[in-house]
A and B are shown apart, each in its own frame.
Chain A
Amino acid sequence: MLEVTGLELALPDLSAKRGFARAPLVSILRNLSFCVNQGESVGVVGQSGSGKTSLGRTLMRLNEPTSGRIVFDGVDISHLQEAELRPLRRRFQMIFQDPQSSLNPRRRIGQSIIQPLMAYGMLTNPQQGWQRSEELLERVGLEPMLSRRYPHELSGGQRQRVGIARAISLEPEFVVADEIVSGLDVSSQAQILRLLRRLQSELGLTLVFISHDLSVVRAVCDRVIVMSHGEIVESGSCAEVFSHANHWYTRELISAIPLPDVDEKWLNDIDAQDNKVG
């Protein structure tokens, strides 16, 4: 469904701007190549600065790649203009990280949810709009009456579910979820992950799940791609990568996760050289 070849992204680094000169470009994504098959859920993991969020946004064409290709269901979308992209956009959607800022704070929930439907002219009257929004809210396990509320009246977990409702409203084939459980309590996180799994099987979605939390990715994804400094360091099925990681970075990442088991050796199990920083 999605094929990425040699993807590169470089953005101007405004903090390094000197005087009136143009800001120097800094390479965010370097020569990335991978594919995602239909119906798969692929996790993209990495620490801060790895470029995983930028990858998600570039896949959604919120950024234009500097070079390389993104092919979505046979169509090269790498450098299409807005007008050409528009009809395709309804087939790939994104769920954003921050439930606080991803919903327009001055719109009611119901209006935000059906906004994609309205943008594509799929609603005939306002009544139908409210109805659809209530249906979608139920689909993600929220009470329909929440559609009249404003985002700030909902909890973080609820807002995130609204974000999901919005993303699936157009019944897309492909969804990118960018750190959607990061700010949530472990209980809300469990709810969202279960919801996501359920929706994925109900709608036959292809999912790219971006997260810094490997344990979460393990719970949701079939395959995983590990990123560091804008490059793919390792990729493979979750079962393989987690039990026999090839790359040292992946191994280090996995062993750094504290499992909820008492283990005195875990703290001391680091190479001596790691300990000095500066």
Chain B
Amino acid sequence: MALTAMTGSWLAPHDPLEQDLLNSFLPPFWVAGADPAFLLGTDNLGRDVLSRLIYGTRVALMVAVIAATLTGMLGTTVGLLAGFFGGWVDTLVSRMVDIWMAFPAVLLSIVLVAVIGAGLHAVIIAIIVIDWTRFCRVVRAETMVQCQQDYVASAVTIGLSRRRRLFVEILPNILPLLISLLTLEMGIAVVVEAILSYVGLSVASDAATWGGLIQEGRLYVNQAPWLMVFPIACIIVAVLGFNALGDGLRSAFDPVLRR
């Protein structure tokens, strides 16, 4: 996916924005009546589906990585602090998370985008604002579990400061969980981006995004089903890919799993 996103401009056989009304609604290459120049067919305006998908990859990947990372950073920091310090910090954070999660996510994101204005940055901010609670809750719980472990008490007996205990002892043990959450979040980010661009709240409507493609394809689903099928397939592959990445990273970096 990363490769495709980076080399998109060379890879794509056509300019995704180029419209060619003469060649509209061409089916994908394995169906009769197709034009091999347009491998996956074209849409209603004659734009090449394959090229648009490839450019869409770029958007999806950017959103996934940036949004997931920032969400993770925010959620983890708050979760760690809440779990480690407990007391009023924890109560405050927990109540905040509860209230936050009570807002319907989709509505919140729509409102946000309406306020900030459409565009990729809006999508990313929307994801961060909504999903940091996911990280926070899980990291808080895991931190609390780790705090109970004797190796933390052991660190106290040799006089390690609280900051060192948190970052040097506990954090590495939270890492595997974080990796899983991050890759999960990347998958979610892709889907959220698709939803938002489906609703037209993401980037400009003729730029290529998977969600936008689905939205356009919806109108022609009877004539040209491939217009919807391919972008959906891309999303599925992307999410599965992120999950596999997460599993792989955990196996590679976690000494406990590595036997």
Contacts and interface: CB of A to CB of B under 8 A. Distances in A.
Interface in B136-184: 149-151, 153-162, 169, 172-173, 175
B219 to A, nearest CB: 53
Nearest to B156: A62
Given A119-B159, A120-B158, A152-B256, A104 B153 contact: no
Contacts, number: 65
A94 B157 contact: yes
A71 B11 CA distance: 75
Contacts of B150: 96-98, 101-102
Given A85-B159, A106-B173, A150 B256 contact: yes
Most chain A beta carbons < 10 A, residue from B158, B175, B254, B255? B158
Contacts of B256: 105-106, 150, 152
Interface string A89-127: 110011011100111111100001001100110000000
A96 B153 contact: yes
Contacts of A62: 153, 156-157
B160 A119 contact: yes
Contacts of A90: 158-159
Given A103-B151, A150-B255, A89 B169 contact: no
Contacts of A89: 157-159
Interface size on A, as a range, is: 20 to 34
Interface residues of B, number: 20
A170 interface: yes
B69 to A, nearest CB: 22
B158 A170 contact: yes
B156 A106 contact: no
A189 to B, nearest CB: 19
Most chain A beta carbons < 10 A, residue from B151, B156, B175? B151
A86 interface: yes
A86 B157 CA distance: 8
10 contacts: A86-B159, A94-B153, A96-B154, A103-B154, A104-B169, A107-B172, A112-B151, A120-B159, A150-B256, A166-B154
Interface of A: 57, 60, 62, 82, 85-87, 89-90, 93-94, 96-98, 101-107, 112, 115-116, 119-120, 150, 152, 166, 170
Closest 7 CB pairs of A and B: A102-B150, A86-B159, A116-B158, A96-B150, A101-B149, A104-B151, A89-B159
Given A96-B150, A103-B154, A120-B158, 20 more contacts: A62-B157, A82-B159, A82-B161, A82-B162, A86-B159, A89-B159, A90-B158, A90-B159, A96-B154, A101-B149, A102-B150, A102-B151, A102-B153, A105-B255, A106-B255, A107-B172, A115-B155, A115-B158, A119-B158, A152-B256
